[in-house]
Structure 1
Amino acid sequence: MERHEYATGAGEAPGGTGIGRAGGAGRLLAPARTGLYPCAERLADRFAQAPPEDADALYAAVFGLYGARHLGGAPGPSCADSPDTSWWHGPTAHPASLRTRPAGYRRSRRDGAGPVEPRGTAAGGRHRKPERAPAADQPETAAERRAAARLLLAQPLVTAGGPHGAGFPLIRRHAGWLTARFRELLGYSLAVGPTYARLRKAPLPGRGLPGFEPAGYAELALALAGLAEGREVAAFRPEVRRVLTEWQVLDADGEADRELAVALAPQAEPTSAGPQLAVRRLLVETPVVLLDELAPDERSWLVGRQRAETELFADFLGLEAEIRAEGVALLDPADELTDLALPGTGTLPQAALLLVERLVEELRPLPEEAAPPAVLVPDALIDGALGDITDEHGLREGWEPGYLADLTAFRRDALDLLHRMGLIAPAGRNWVLRAPAARYAPQAELHPAPGSGRHSRPPAAPPRRRRPA
């Protein structure tokens, strides 16, 4: 329910800022005194007093600058729409290119399904139109608008001279349509200036700035407001200067772009969002939406609108739906529209994918059993599965030596990635495995054998019968 509470925080009134109520952000920015700097001072005080996790949430609430996040590995078209099928037992998205098991490895739960065809490739740069077959009469304008909308959803700040500047002319060309469409569908506000485009999103948890502590956020808020109003600003912390430079508020010589600073400065007029906006925001910004985690009115709205909404976002953003009994995931066929990649390259994505596969193989309900939205993961199973995959793949795949030497850190970071991708969730001191994780594991046998990994718990011995006296 955590993500739902944040997604409902932004206003749906036309012209609203799309900023939510997390951490009392709206009250902090209420204009008791005019000007950006007095508001920033109150916000900086709140940042300075907040625990790190609350500071991250407050940053997302008042800035709304984060990228969309979607799962990779989309199944074929025949697998996409199965609203009566559970993720636990449905088609998988596990092409052979993602499997890195050693030769000769035998699964305890063998994959009875045939191989999944590998995804095709297409020419073009990042945030190109995804590989969907366009209608024969689709105008070029629609393709341009989709490319511009995808870029903004992935990069809420686009500058003419920045790394995504090649897409800025498209945003400028279709600014009026994009502004109206983002406001209508998501309640987001879009500001387009001569050299920048800034999309202000609704707050979501876990979308803070890497390496930032509460004091850094406080200084960032004051720095932006000070630069926007032409004030003298003291020397910046290294992380604050890095962000201001990345956002191009500061140039290489330390000169400030006051217009861009004004556009980025935190502002808020929060009102509550209805079920329509709240669910749409979760669909386009988060990897998966489970019906069980929505409020009753949101759940009813989504169940009645699943196909209509997925068609809408296929047209607007090129996202394709995976509908299951537990919920909906919007997937990007181009595997681009995400700030984190899973599947992905590198030690953590590879290990996390293998870990979630092992957990599903051990914990997935049998086809004749009820299919819950999530199942509790025994703590020892995580350690055992991670030990197995590290032994089997660590040296052979060239995984980072630091992780191989520190399994505690390896476990922490792998679980964090799976959590951020919506495949596991905390449950007190334990974890639960969410049903969408099963899309990355082979389909289950009707009668699977018990686990046999070197670090796995041995199967329990059958009870001994007592002889009659």
Structure 2
Amino acid sequence: MTNSDRTLATSRQVAAEVREAARILLRTPIVTAARAPESMAIIRKHAVALRKLFATNVGYHLVVEASFARLAKLPPESSATERVVYRRNGTPFGARGYTLLVLACGALLAPGVGEQILLSALVTQIRTDAAQQEIPLSDSIADRRLLVAALAVLLEWGVLTEVDGTVAQWGESAEEALLTICRPLLPHLLTRSIGSGADRRDLLTPQPDAPRRRLRRRLVEEPVVLRSDLDPDELDVLSRERSELTRMLGEAFGLVLEVRAEGALGYDPAGSLSDIEFPGTGSVKQAALLLIGALLDLTDDGVTGSMEFAWPVVDSVLAELVRAYGRAWRSEYADAPGALRDDTVALLTTLRLAEPTSDALVLNAAAARYRPQPKSGGTQLTFE
């Protein structure tokens, strides 16, 4: 192997490592050495290149320290679907859950708190702060479980690490636990400072930026980008810079650009970047997948664009699916078809595969990629 060959091989290896580190940060914007030492090692190794990659291409700020890395993303565009935190049982966190999460972070920053804390002491501080802010917080099972859910988020983010005992055990039987705190990370949880008088818009309103970077962020973060959601400048970039967009998405993040009449998407061949696995396990995901196939089977022509299906048609199809597959799904859906419709439509909307209107469910053309295909010689379904 010549020197030039070795240099090329090294360059390719570095580019692959930077791309993998960028994908880790997109998928998990908070990485800690305690929870993911191997990921943290590759991020620290390429910190300079990663800061430049994110700042130049999508306008994100990356903080890398010895114990953690924090990718500060920007607020999504107004047309993007809302992304929420979910509890382990799959239910949305809700306003009260977010309130307890903020109280927990504040308690961890209280004077005198060191690198470790007993769970009982943390809970006492949270309840004291809640009382001072006139936020009701009892010792009921419901409130304890919601507090456990908030602390579980901090465990998942790596802000807290269980040393002795678990948060879950405290939630069920009040057993003590010892927690380690990643204190340097706490000030970086919020991507923007909140001063007195600030409201929700200070954190969630997109900031002005060049159309090129706005479009790149959309393609990286959103499952489907519809042309109707793009302003004229973004549409111009999509038209004129398609080759450059294709190169950037592939080299930086391992995504493949797909452009159709309805819009565009950054497709991930590895299928590991999305925070919502689809297709996937669970009643709602299975129902959503089968609903797509059943609705598309009702169309006589090929899929050439968005398709509308009146709500009575959707309800009829879901009723048939419940009869066929309901025994394998959550039992409450058999008695509450409206709940199944609401949860299924919410998932498809989040994935930008469908849009509900007052009269119908509109399937976007991208939904056709998930159309079930029967295996030859049997009735088992496979999925594209």
Q: TM-score, structure 2 length as denominator?
A: 0.71
CA distance in 2, matches of 1:388, 1:429: 20
CA shift for structure 1 position 262:
1.5
For residues 398-452 of structure 1, the C-alpha deviation after alignment (integer angstroms, 9 at most, x for no partner) is: 3333333432222221111111111101324643221211223379xxxxxxxxx
The residue aligned with 1:329 is 265
1:179 to 51, 54, 57: 51
The residue aligned with 1:345 is 281
2:217 to 268, 281, 287: 281
1:258 to 159, 166, 183: 183
Moved beyond 4 Å, runs of 4+ = 135-138, 363-367
Percent of aligned pairs with the same residue? 35
The residue aligned with 1:160 is 33
1:415 aligns with 2:345: yes
1:144 aligns with 2:17: yes
CA distance in 1, matches of 2:189, 2:300: 46
1:194 aligns with 2:126: no
The residue aligned with 2:243 is 307
1:227 aligns with 2:108: yes
CA distance in 1, matches of 2:110, 2:66: 19
CA shift for structure 1 position 314:
0.9
Would you say the 8 A contact 1:275–1:301 is kept in 2? yes
CA distance in 1, matches of 2:50, 2:247: 18
2:325 to 393, 410, 427: 393
Q: Which runs of 5+ in 1 are unaligned?
A: 1-134, 444-469
CA distance in 2, matches of 1:323, 1:442: 22
Secondary structure of 2:160 counterpart: coil
Secondary structure of 1:139 counterpart: helix
Would you say the 8 A contact 1:229–1:258 is kept in 2? no
CA shift for structure 1 position 283:
0.5
Matched to 2:16, the amino acid is: A
CA distance in 2, matches of 1:214, 1:159: 27
CA distance in 2, matches of 1:225, 1:191: 21
The residue aligned with 1:48 is none
CA distance in 2, matches of 1:312, 1:404: 47
Ranked by relative contact order (alpha carbons within 8 Å, sequence separation 6 or more), the top structure is 1
CA shift for structure 1 position 225:
4.7
Secondary structure of 1:203 counterpart: coil
CA shift for structure 1 position 213:
2.7
Would you say the 8 A contact 1:225–1:265 is kept in 2? no
Secondary structure of 2:242 counterpart: helix
CA distance in 1, matches of 2:112, 2:211: 42
Would you say the 8 A contact 2:218–2:225 is kept in 1? yes
Would you say the 8 A contact 1:228–1:259 is kept in 2? no
For residues 17-72 of structure 1, the C-alpha deviation after alignment (integer angstroms, 9 at most, x for no partner) is: xxxxxxxxxxxxxxxxxxxxxxxxxxxxxxxxxxxxxxxxxxxxxxxxxxxxxxxx
1:212 aligns with 2:93: yes
CA shift for structure 1 position 390:
2.5
Change in CA separation of 1:436 and 1:160 when aligned onto 2, cut-off 3 Å:
same
Secondary structure of 2:149 counterpart: helix
Higher strand share: 2
CA distance in 2, matches of 1:143, 1:158: 19
CA shift for structure 1 position 136:
7.5
The residue aligned with 2:361 is 431
CA distance in 1, matches of 2:59, 2:299: 39
Change in CA separation of 1:385 and 1:212 when aligned onto 2, cut-off 3 Å:
same
Matched to 2:332, the amino acid is: G
CA distance in 2, matches of 1:223, 1:412: 32
Matched to 2:370, the amino acid is: Y
For residues 58-115 of structure 1, the C-alpha deviation after alignment (integer angstroms, 9 at most, x for no partner) is: xxxxxxxxxxxxxxxxxxxxxxxxxxxxxxxxxxxxxxxxxxxxxxxxxxxxxxxxxx
2:255 to 296, 306, 319: 319
For residues 330-349 of structure 1, the C-alpha deviation after alignment (integer angstroms, 9 at most, x for no partner) is: 11111111111222233322
1:381 to 307, 310, 313: 313
Give runs of aligned pairs for residues 456-467 of structure 1, distance below 5 A: none
Give runs of aligned pairs for residues 237-248 of structure 1, distance below 5 A: 237-248=147-158
CA distance in 1, matches of 2:65, 2:302: 56
Secondary structure of 1:376 counterpart: strand
Would you say the 8 A contact 1:224–1:262 is kept in 2? no
Higher helix share: 2
Q: Which runs of 5+ in 2 are unaligned?
A: 1-7, 87-91, 114-121, 128-146, 163-177, 194-201, 374-384
The residue aligned with 2:226 is 290
1:441 aligns with 2:371: yes
Would you say the 8 A contact 2:103–2:126 is kept in 1? no
Would you say the 8 A contact 2:159–2:185 is kept in 1? yes
Secondary structure of 1:235 counterpart: helix
* More divergent stretch after superposition (305-314 vs 225-234): 225-234
Number of aligned positions between the proteins: 302
Matched to 1:297, the amino acid is: D
CA shift for structure 1 position 263:
2.0
* More divergent stretch after superposition (358-367 vs 148-157): 358-367
